[in-house]
Structure 1
Amino acid sequence: MADDHPADFEEIARRFSHLWQALNSHAHSPDIRKMLIDRVRDALDRGEARFGEADPAIIANSFVLEAMVHDGAATQVYRARHRDLGTLHAIKMPRPDHADDPVLRKLILREAEIGTALRHPHIAGTQTVLRLADGRPALIMEWLGNRLADLLQERPLTPREITDVMTSVLSGLKAIHAAGLVHCDLSPLNLLFDGDLPHLKIADFGIALKAGCRHEEFDLAFAGQPDFASPEQTAGGPLDGRSDLYAAGRLLALLLSHCSAERDEKLEALAIRLSQPNPQDRPENAEAALHLLGSPWKSGVVF
Structure 2
Amino acid sequence: MSHDPPEAAFEEIARRFSHLWQALNADKAYSPDTRKILIDRVRDALDRGEARLSELDTAIIANSFVLEKLVHDGAAIQVYRARHRDLGTLHAIKMPRPEHADDPVLRKLMLREAEIGMALRHPHIAATQTMLRLADGRPALVMEWIGSRLAELLQQRPLFPGDVASLMTSVFSGLDAIHAAGFIHCDLSPLNLLSQGNFSRLKIADFGVALEAGCRHRQFDLAFAGRPDFASPEQTAGERLDGRSDLYAAGLLLSLLLSHCTQHDERLEALAIRLSQRDPQDRPENAKAALHLLGGPAERPVDF
The alignment's TM-score, normalised by the length of structure 1, stands at: 0.88
* Distance change >3 Å, CA 42–CA 295, structure 1 → 2: farther
Question: How far 1:146 moved relative to its partner?
Answer: 1.1
Q: 2-side partners of 1:161 and 1:297: how far apart?
A: 8
Aligned to 1:292: 293
Letter in 2 for 1:262: Q
The equivalent position to 1:249 in structure 2, one of 251, 264, 274, is 251
> Residue 80 of structure 2 corresponds to which residue in structure 1?
78
> 1:90 offset after TM fit, Å?
1.1
Contact 2:82 2:92 in 1 (8 A): yes
Unaligned 5+ runs, structure 2 = none
Match of 1:205 in 2: 207
> Which residue matches 2:222?
220
SS at match of 1:153: coil
Q: 2:59 aligns with which of 48, 57, 60?
A: 57
Change (3 A) 1:108 1:14: same
- The one-character-per-residue Cα deviations of 1:108-135 (angstroms, maximum 9, x if unpaired) are 1110111111111111111111222222
Q: CA 1:295 to 1:186, structure 2 compared with 1: closer, same or farther past 3 Å?
A: farther
- For 2:104 and 2:130, locate their aligned partners in 1 and report how far apart those are by CA, in whole Å: 20
Secondary structure of the 2:5 match is helix
TM-superposed deviation, 1:34:
6.3
| Equivalent residue, structure 2, for 1:137 | 139
After TM superposition, the structure 1 = structure 2 runs for residues 62-211 of structure 1, keeping only pairs within 5 Å, are 62-211=64-213
Percent sequence identity over matched residues? Answer: 78
Distance 1:74 1:9 in 2: 42
**8 Å contact kept, 1:46–1:56:** no
SS class of match (2:99): helix
Structure 1 pair 295–102 and aligned structure 2 pair: CA distance change class (3 A): farther
CA contact (8 A) 2:153 2:197 kept: no
Q: Is residue 162–residue 299 contact of structure 2 (8 Å, CA) maintained in 1? A: no
- Read off the aligned partner of 2:113 and give its amino acid letter: E
Change in 2 beyond 3 A, CA 1:83/1:42: farther
**Matching residue's letter, 1:273:** R
Instruction: Check conservation: 2:161, 2:263, Cα contact below 8 A.
Output: no
Alpha-carbon displacement from aligned partner over 1:24-48 (angstroms, at most 9, x marks no partner): 6555677777666655544443322
Change (3 A) 1:295 1:129: farther
Q: Deviations over 1:175-221 (max 9, x none)?
A: 01111111000001001123532111101111111111111111111
Deviation at 1:89, TM superposition (A): 1.3
**Aligned residue pair count:** 299
**TM-score with structure 2 length normalisation?**
0.88
1:272 aligns with 2:273: yes
Q: Where does residue 4 of structure 1 map in the other structure?
A: 5
Relative to structure 1, the CA distance from residue 149 to residue 37 in structure 2 (aligned partners, 3 Å threshold; closer, same or farther) is farther
Relative distance call for 1:223 and 1:23 in structure 2 (3 A) is same
What is the root-mean-square deviation of aligned Cα atoms in Å? Answer: 2.6
Call closer, same or farther: CA 1:97–1:291 in 2, change over 3 Å: same
CA contact (8 A) 1:56 1:65 kept: yes
Q: Secondary structure at 1:212's aligned position in 2?
A: coil
2: CA distance, partners of 1:136 / 1:293 = 43
> Contact 1:184/1:229 (CA < 8 Å) preserved in 2?
yes
CA gap 1:266/1:106 in 2 versus in 1, 3 angstroms: same
Instruction: Check conservation: 1:130, 1:138, Cα contact below 8 A.
Output: yes
Tell me the residue number matched to 2:263: 262
> How many Å apart are 1:143 and its aligned residue?
1.2
Q: Deviations over 1:251-301 (max 9, x none)?
A: 111111112x2211111111111111111111111001111112447569x
Q: 1:42 to 1:82 in 2, by over 3 A?
A: farther
* Corresponding residue SS for 1:252: helix
Provide structure 1 residue ranges, at least 5 long, that are not aligned to the other structure: none
